[in-house]
Amino acid sequence: MATQKPSRTPAEIEDIILRKIFLVSLVDSMENDSRVVYLEMTAAEILSEGKELKLSRDLLERIIIDRLTGNFPAADPPFQYLVDCYGRAYEEGKKIASMKDKNLRSEMENVVRQAKKLAVSYSRIHLGNPDMFPNPDTNKSNVSPLLYLIFAEVGSNLDGFGWSSSGTSSPPGFLEEFFRDADYDSMEPILKQLYEDLRGSVLKVSALGDFQRPLRALLLLVNYPVAAKALVNHPWWIPKSVYLNGRVIEMTSILGPFFHVSALRDHDIFKSEPDIGQQCFSDASTRRPADLLSSFTTIKTVMNNLYDGLAEVLMCLLKNTNTRENVLEYLAEVINRNASRGHLQVDPLSCASSGMFVNLSAVMLCLCEPFLDANLTKRDKIDPKYVLYNNRLELRGLTALHASSEEVSEWFGDPAKVDTSSNTGDGQNRLLQSQEATSSSSNTNEPSLLQNNNPVSRSSEKVKYPFICECFFMTARVLNLGLLKAFSDFKHLVQDISRCEDALSSFKSMREQAPSRQLQEDIERLENEIESYSQEKLCYEAQILRDGGILQRALSYYRLMIVWLVGLVGGFKMPLPPTCPKEFASMPEHFVEDAMELLIFASRIPRALDGVMLDDFMNFIIMFMASPEYIRNPYLRAKMVEVLNCWMPRRSGSKATETLFEGHPLSLEYLVRNLLKLYVDIEFTGSHTQFYDKFNIRHNIAELLEYLWQVPSHRNVWRKIAKEEEKGVYLNFLNFLINDSIYLLDESLNKILELKGLEAEMSNTVEWERRPAQERQERTRLFHSQENIIRIDMKLANEDVSMLAFTSEQITAPFLLPEMIVNIYVNLARGDKDNIFPVAITKDGRSYNDQLFGAAAHVLRRIGEDFRIIQEFVDLGARAKAAAAEAMDAEAALGDVPDEFLDPIQYTLMRDPVILPSSRVIVDRPVIQRHLLSDSTDPFNRSHLTADMLIPDVELKAKIEEFIRSQELKRQERLSTQSAKATIHTTDTTTLID
């Protein structure tokens, strides 16, 4: 009969468990496991104390210290050993769970718990004091071994440095216990090193590199309060340096390199690997579409992982009241230090990369998502005073929608100049009032700043704004410097590619005619440039254009922006209040400009506007595009027309946009009116390029007007405006329309002559080949440039003439006014019941020539124009000739006209003299009114002048009328005398015959 196995005492079981966990022995025996070490010193001490050679909880710390300080061959490094101890303790714990004896199980669970706690505690001690215990690892690196453990917890076998983690894995629960209950002071140096290593792991990593595991590691850390606190208190959270700029923050702050991860190309100094352009888009023109689509999908996926991860990191820190302020300070510093990214030219050495700011744009939009609901219910949390008084973002220096910086300071005071030494001063009072209003509307539990009766304390306190308010304005700045800047860069990139392709085509043509080494080098250089630009363009396409999510969130954000702005002027209703509210006038101009740019950009991407609520944008555009009293910048108002152009149904192909034009209340009432007004207003933009800009802007307006003319409801409104504004804005509109068409046609004809000359030069092959290559290249470029200008000018002129034709068919009255210059003859003649038109034609001394009618009729016959049109045109010419003859007779009858009666501009007899208030020059009213249609200045001293400022010269008018009457009487007397003489002569002759 077998003998029963003796049961072990709890002390024996504890000894066995601890030996397994810590791989140590107090007895020098031959162990099967070579990792077990004999702790001779500890064993001797225990024997000298008269205790049994068994491991127990009471001896644990002595055992661990002996094991870590001893010199044991082939022993694991301290951190590795302690982590493995924790892992073995975890395994022993699972075995203990199956013990039937509850008391024994409870005791042994306490043993394992204590073993884990000490393993974690000494791990912290070792990492905080790396030189405390000898480290036998000869391949020591400067990277914290804790990083490997975290990477093993969150990722795959390769870490961010490309090194294997040597089988290190994180035992279940180790990291949780390591960070959960730690003392901040002891953890701070460990975490400081850890964050620096983490930052280094993504420093030069592109979107296709391994950034995801470092990002997950960062997210793991910030979820522990002690680690979150250590992050925002790290010296590199916001680097301190006299050389601090946008690029320094990006490359040296802890979060900066995470935001730097991107598909967009950066300056070579900061280039990340692998090169996405080379890897995904080299020789793209020869690649299969499926390959490119796969690359696009991959990049979009990894970038969205980055956005989501970074947004989660920031959200975690923002939810923690102890770290929220630090996050807002970091974001503000990034924004303020990169303000020059808003300039046309960006210095890559002093500004953060486009990649960082596009990523930050996406992340900020994620943070905004909770308050971008369909009804925008949280918009009352956005305080306009933030722009004027916040201590965080530099907003007051930005160009405002209408107010100058002097006006803003006058209206709201200058916080920087508030005198805190006393409670006097209007500026301070306004500041305090704004603080009181902000505090009361912020829905926080903090007391109002005005509860303190000390004026010094009050003015020096920082105003607390709700997070929604801070997030809203920060997002506006980030999008301006990030996503919207990227749109601009993309457009310039496309233009660069087009320019290079044109030059390449010219060079290849020249090579066919006269090959040379220089030409071949230029061709190869351009081909390389085009390849590089094309790769960069496809990277933009991959990260931005094909990411419908980021565009949709941006559109939702700007819908909130424009609804909020309209709230500052009383909501969506017309007409606007006569005076622009000061808060609206003081808002940064780019808030509106960015919204318009995004709409234009998104309109050109298929399906990007699907599901977007466009009505609010349409209302905003109609309200403000013709309101210079609200939005001063004419180019910004012109950009609104560009948006409408993109939405025209024939261009967008969308039923949704058709409804905006043809079934939208504000559109039906105000769209035509405001387009006509803007057409006139845009004559003077204030820019040095205004002369050329106005044609492009009017081209966009003309396209819209042509479409709206075909919509019956809009055409009826148009007719009504023409009747009501016959001598107002509509007359100005027609005048500019005609002036522009004449100028454009004239310019085109002149340039055609120049082009013919260039063609003649190039067709003389012998002479052409003798010229230097550079000269031929320049002349060829000039030829193509002139060709392009002519094409554009003729297109614009054709549009203008076309509009004159179709509008004059149904609206003739304004064309018959004496102020006009007349071009659209036949339609006007049909509507001319009182024979005003022929006289109007002859009065246009610059253009009238009776021979032109015959020449034009000849051209019309040659091109096959309808016979009836030609006949009406010829008849009109005959009537005009008769009117001209009659006018000449009348003028001749007046004889010599005194100089004081002559208009100084056209030297014609004045009929209605008026005095110009500034120069005091006397001119004829119709002449100066014609001038004022296109130029609101006094032609003699360029001072401001409008028709209502003209002063009638009643005395001179009476003199002129008296002169005309006297001359008429003299003429009548001459006629009578001549008639009497004729009668006498006839009588005498008859008498003689008789």
Nearest to 350, CA basis, from 244, 484, 199: 244
Question: Residue 615: pLDDT above 80?
Answer: yes
Boundary residue ending a domain (894, 919, 934): 894
C-alpha neighbours within 13 Å on the C-beta side of residue 241: 15
**pLDDT for residue 690:** 63
Residue 27 and residue 121 in one domain? yes
**pLDDT for residue 458:** 33
Three-state SS for 510-532 is: HHHHCCCHHHHHHHHHHHHHHHH
**pLDDT for residue 454:** 35
Residues 6+ apart with CB under 8 A from 987: none
Q: Give the other-Cβ count within 10 Å of 109's Cβ.
A: 15
| The two three-digit tokens of residue 595, written as one number | 């919204």
Range of the domain at 959: 899-980
Nearest to 485, CA basis, from 403, 576, 626, 601: 601
Residue 871 and residue 970 in one domain? no
Residue 97 and residue 24 in one domain? yes
Burial of 443 from C-beta contacts in 10 A (0-12 / 13-18 / 19+): exposed
> Of the given ranges (117-126, 651-660, 716-725, 895-904), which has the lowest mean pLDDT?
651-660
Residues 6+ apart with CB under 8 A from 242: none
Boundary residue ending a domain (894, 921, 956): 894
The rounded distance, in Å, linking the Cα atoms of 673 and 653 is 25
| The two three-digit tokens of residue 388, written as one number | 């004027």
**Scanning the structure block, which residue is given the tokens 């351009």?**
526
The rounded distance, in Å, linking the Cα atoms of 388 and 844 is 55
Q: Is residue 430 part of a domain?
A: no
Report DSSP state, residue 254: S
Residue 958 and residue 857 in one domain? no
Q: Is residue 545 part of a domain?
A: no
The rounded distance, in Å, linking the Cα atoms of 679 and 683 is 8
pTM: 0.77
Give Cα separations from 348 to 199, 241, 338, 353, 878 (angstroms): 21, 18, 11, 7, 70
- Dump pLDDT digits (tens) for 474-520: 999 999 999 999 999 999 999 999 999 988 888 888 888 778 888 88
The rounded distance, in Å, linking the Cα atoms of 283 and 278 is 9
What is the average per-residue pLDDT within 657-666?
A: 84
What is the average per-residue pLDDT within 850-864?
A: 71
| The two three-digit tokens of residue 380, written as one number | 């009352």
Three-state SS for 404-417 is: CHHHHHHHHCCHHH
Residues 6+ apart with CB under 8 A from 543: 207, 262, 263, 264, 299, 300, 303, 358
- At 939, which CATH number? 3.30.40.10
Given a contact cutoff of 8 angstroms between Cβ atoms, the answer to whether 125 and 132 are in contact is yes
The rounded distance, in Å, linking the Cα atoms of 509 and 521 is 14
Question: Residue 166: pLDDT above 80?
Answer: no
- Dump pLDDT digits (tens) for 219-261: 999 999 999 999 999 999 999 887 889 999 999 999 999 999 9
Question: Residue 376: pLDDT above 80?
Answer: yes
**pLDDT for residue 163:** 33
Report DSSP state, residue 25: E
Residue 936 and residue 975 in one domain? yes
The rounded distance, in Å, linking the Cα atoms of 786 and 772 is 21
Residue 33 and residue 111 in one domain? yes
pLDDT band at residue 211 under the 50/70/90 scheme: very high
SS3 586: coil
What is the average per-residue pLDDT within 766-770?
A: 80
Q: Is residue 928 part of a domain?
A: yes
Residue 922 and residue 969 in one domain? yes
Residue 908 and residue 867 in one domain? no
More confident residue, 682 or 346: 346
pLDDT band at residue 31 under the 50/70/90 scheme: low
How many structural domains are present in the chain?
Answer: 3
Residue 849 and residue 956 in one domain? no
Residue 853 and residue 871 in one domain? yes
Boundary residue ending a domain (128, 159, 185): 128
Q: Is residue 550 part of a domain?
A: no
| Paired strand residues for 37 | 24
Question: Can you spell out the DSSP letters for 1-19?
Answer: -PPPPPPPPHHHHHHHHHH
Q: Is residue 227 part of a domain?
A: no
- Quote the percentage of the chain above a pLDDT of 70: 84
Q: Is residue 734 part of a domain?
A: no
Question: Residue 406: pLDDT above 70?
Answer: yes
Question: Can you spell out the DSSP letters for 299-341?
Answer: HHHHHHHHHHHHHHHHHHHHHSTTTHHHHHHHHHHHHHHTGGG
Question: Residue 890: pLDDT above 70?
Answer: no
**Scanning the structure block, which residue is given the tokens 């690997």?**
273
Q: Is residue 883 part of a domain?
A: yes
Nearest to 403, CA basis, from 637, 588, 634: 588
Burial of 964 from C-beta contacts in 10 A (0-12 / 13-18 / 19+): middle
- Dump pLDDT digits (tens) for 695-749: 888 888 888 988 888 888 888 888 888 777 766 777 777 777 777 777 777 777 7
φ, ψ of residue 118 in degrees (nearest 5)? -70, -35
Residue 922 and residue 881 in one domain? no
| The two three-digit tokens of residue 183, written as one number | 């003392």
Q: Is residue 84 part of a domain?
A: yes
| End-to-end Cα distance, the chain | 190
| The two three-digit tokens of residue 339, written as one number | 């303000």
Cβ burial 884-906 (10 Å sphere, 16+ → b, else e): beeeeeeeeebeebeeebebeeb
Residue 842 and residue 883 in one domain? yes
